[in-house]
Amino acid sequence: MSRFRKIGSVGSSLLVPFAVVVIQGILAYRFRVFNYFDLPLIYCVYYGFTRSKPVASAFLGGGLGLLQDSLSRHAMGTNGFSKALLCFAAASTSLKFNVDQAITRIFALFLFTVADRLLVSILGLAMGTGQGEIFSGGLMDLILSGVFNTLLGLIMFGFRDRFRHAP
């Protein structure tokens, strides 16, 4: 039984990142509002907080970021670097702090969104593939993105809590 569970866990760890990036691409294309969301980032934080495995989180973040880069004109490794770092940070945070509290999750989701945009902007400027997205997009854009990501992240955590505590 535990072997099946392990295979399922590994399979979902490999398949879910693909699904997340594909769904983000399709939704952003169909509905403009989804441009404000960053599903791969939310999943990174969710994975880091719930699994609390820094090594797996770093690999997952790197993979997710590379998949994201392949669908954009970012230099390969831009999102890979950022997501690996943030996913690792999320997992490490969950080992030291109580991430079951809503306030911790709100702060973390918002700050990780800002940190991701900052890192991607700096790397984009360094590579000459971006014009400092965090600045060109505007502060309001960044705040909206942070708020949307935080709300969606909280919903995901809410579902998880509900199922975890279900009898």
Q: Which residues in this chain contact another protein in the complex, by CB under 8 A?
A: 18-19, 21-26, 28-30, 32, 35-36, 38-40, 54-55, 58-59, 61-62, 65-81, 84-85, 88, 92, 120, 123, 127, 129-131, 133, 136-137, 141, 145
Cβ density class 25-54: b for 16+ within 10 Å, e for less: beebeeeeebebbbbbbbbbbbbbbbbbbb
**Residue 64 or 156: which CB sits closer to another protein?**
64
Using the minimum distance from each CB to another protein, give the nearer residue, 22 or 102.
Answer: 22
d(CA 75, CA 153): 27
Residue with tokens 């969104």: 113
Minimum distance of another protein from residue 12's CB (angstroms): 15
- 45 and 101 Cβ atoms separated by less than 8 Å: no
Spatial separation of the C-alpha atoms in residues 162 and 8, rounded to whole Å: 21
CB of 137 to another protein, least distance (A): 5
In whole angstroms, the minimum distance from the beta carbon of 156 to another protein comes to 17
DSSP states of 120-146 = HHHHHHHHTS-S-HHHHS-HHHHHHHH
Minimal distance in Å, beta carbon 24 to another protein?
Answer: 5
Q: How far is the CB of 160 from another protein (least distance, A)?
A: 23
In terms of CB distance, is 38 or 105 closer to another protein? 38
Q: Which is nearer to another protein, 83 or 105 (CB)?
A: 83
What is the number of other CB atoms lying within 10 angstroms of the CB of residue 160? 13
Query: Which one, 10 or 76, has the nearer CB to another protein?
Result: 76
